[in-house]
Chain A
């Protein structure tokens, strides 16, 4: 009797080659109508989103180096995975990010300065999801948000807010996490609950190859997409640097979720071109050759080449660059204006109802600070 195979492979959905040619893989064929249905304006928006995102990312990293932020979390290289999936969601959908999904937030209507407020140490949150396209708060404990997303999706079911047959009203949940997070217990429990309750939900894993300094091979011996099937849902591997693949596959999975067909698991194979955070030094654990390999697969370069081939004008690209520069400059200006919150924020909202201990400590601190000559603001 032969031993079971230890070879694991998973086909990849890809439309655009790294050179920017539209050449769908066999797995992508079924999604082609979704791509063909995209108007030029949508394609231009994808490009604009990616370029603006990268420019804001550079701004964030620079602000950190200049001592204006405690930390920056680069998204450089992951623009296609994020833009395609985010543009696939509908306004009524709920998005639960990890902490690197800056452009997803911007697409949902979030002012990136809100993210800088968090990374500048002025807040533990930064925005109200209800007023920012249902884009929930960043979660720093890895994979915690996968369970919140699943519970939220269960709530949508309880409310009858999904699977009614009305695509304009039916809602789904899109949750982002990374290859490192897939090893967390919570990420696996979320897949169990989602599958068990058949939630309207898409798990979107950006496999950027590195969890700080540890390669994805330490998290999984097989393609992460294979995990979907083990939990009872489709697992689909996409070229995460192909914005069309990211859009089409997420779009399809969200439509199925809204229609009551259950959750899906998407692995977007991409690359973190920058450091994990600005506190990291990737030269200590990865090679120049590897970075060069992925540089040749840059998501913006290939999409631009394809758009150029379709006849997009030089003026369009110049206009986008100008727009991105303006947005980044504005973000930088306003980031520098972020001020420290009042000390009452230490105590506010720890409880939503009166709590004698916290109230007494708030009063004490106020009195203590005011006991100094002139008081401390």
Chain B
């Protein structure tokens, strides 16, 4: 982005022009506000999202602007939040739900997978479900059990859902609005360790569509792919690799269902090597799906097996151990070395 940046969050709708430097939390907040101004059917529901503005303050100020008919502090029941949102969507509303933490989405798993994901299909296309479920997810925040999980694969595995995860404030601002505009249910995974770092948000140019993956750094030797907070780790790994004379191409998935394989396959056809990194468990994961699909589509381009860098297949450990549990730039580079050794 080359336009001049303006520090701080824009307070008024008419200031939503040009490029501003925002945190991801503020960018999502601005995106939600924009969607609510543009469509009176958009409403928010979740735990503590009203007066408090959510435990991460992503909905701060929205109750004051839109009132309690559009910003609903719900009872403390995740299945109830998703189940009632289905009824609201049947009535023509576009509910945007906040699940307070990644590990608390499971009480709603049944409503999401057996009801929300299939409702339009059951109605032969006559009952679209424009429901967005925002999920702060991932580690690096030193929190207690059930507060640092990466459950995205459960939802990517479920037909009828769309699953996305932004890695930057700019993407977050636009992707939340695109998710709300979608007539299909969207799981919107927000990498909570990236809520606070600031970056440029171009309020005039959206860039890529919701489900496009993107090369965020060009390179020639090894393709590394990830999503959400992992992109910062991959860029850090690429910096270190560059000092060692190795050039990594970094691809940001942005969308986990569907996955836009085009840029990944194109990249692998040039580099011949692929490392997939994720905070989630590796077994039966998004990374596994990418490894399988790239093996199918770019078999003759591969110089080495596709390697996965994941957290371990154990529950997220006590936070004191998280730095050894979560994939780091060094762990990514270890896999890069193994790939190059073939």
Q: Which A residues lie at the B interface, using CB under 8 A?
A: 123-125, 128-130, 136-137, 139, 141, 144, 146-156, 158-159, 185-186, 189-190, 192-193, 196, 348-353, 355-358
Contact = CB atoms under 8 A, between A and B. Distances in A.
Contacts of B258: 355-357
A192 B90 contact: no
10 contacts: A124-B122, A128-B124, A147-B82, A154-B88, A158-B88, A186-B111, A193-B74, A349-B125, A352-B183, A355-B162
Given A192-B75, A355-B258, 18 more contacts: A123-B124, A125-B124, A144-B115, A151-B86, A151-B88, A151-B90, A152-B90, A154-B88, A158-B88, A159-B91, A189-B75, A189-B80, A348-B124, A349-B120, A349-B124, A352-B120, A353-B184, A355-B162
| Range of interface residues on B (Cβ < 8 Å) | 35 or more
B337 interface: no
B207 interface: no
Interface in B63-106: 69, 74-75, 77, 79-80, 82-93
Classify the secondary structure of A's interface with B.
Answer: helix
A372 B119 CA distance: 34
A356 B87 CA distance: 28
Interface in B107-154: 107, 110-111, 114-115, 118, 120-126, 128
Contact of A185 (B92, B107, B128): B107
A141 B91 CA distance: 21
Interface of B: 43, 69, 74-75, 77, 79-80, 82-93, 107, 110-111, 114-115, 118, 120-126, 128, 159-160, 162, 182-184, 258, 260
Nearest to A125: B122
Contacts of A155: 87-88, 90-93
A356 B213 CA distance: 14
Contacts of B93: 155, 158
A151 B88 CA distance: 5
Q: Which 9 A-B pairs have the closest CB atoms?
A: A151-B87, A147-B83, A155-B91, A151-B84, A189-B80, A152-B87, A125-B122, A349-B125, A148-B87
Given A141-B115, A189-B77, A192-B75, A349 B121 contact: yes
Given A149-B87, A155-B90, A158-B93, A190 B80 contact: yes
A326 B314 CA distance: 63
B87 A147 contact: yes
Nearest to A196: B75
Contacts of B122: 124-125, 137
A146 B258 CA distance: 31
B168 to A, nearest CB: 24
Contacts of B82: 147
B182 A353 contact: yes
A125 B123 contact: yes
A136 B127 CA distance: 11
Contacts of B90: 136, 148, 151-152, 155
Contacts of A186: 79-80, 83, 110-111
A71 B111 CA distance: 24
A343 B30 CA distance: 44
A119 to B, nearest CB: 14
A137 B87 contact: no
A153 B159 CA distance: 28
A324 to B, nearest CB: 30
B75 A148 contact: no
Contacts of B159: 350, 358
Contacts of B120: 349, 351-352
B87 A185 contact: no
A170 B281 CA distance: 51
A285 B121 CA distance: 37
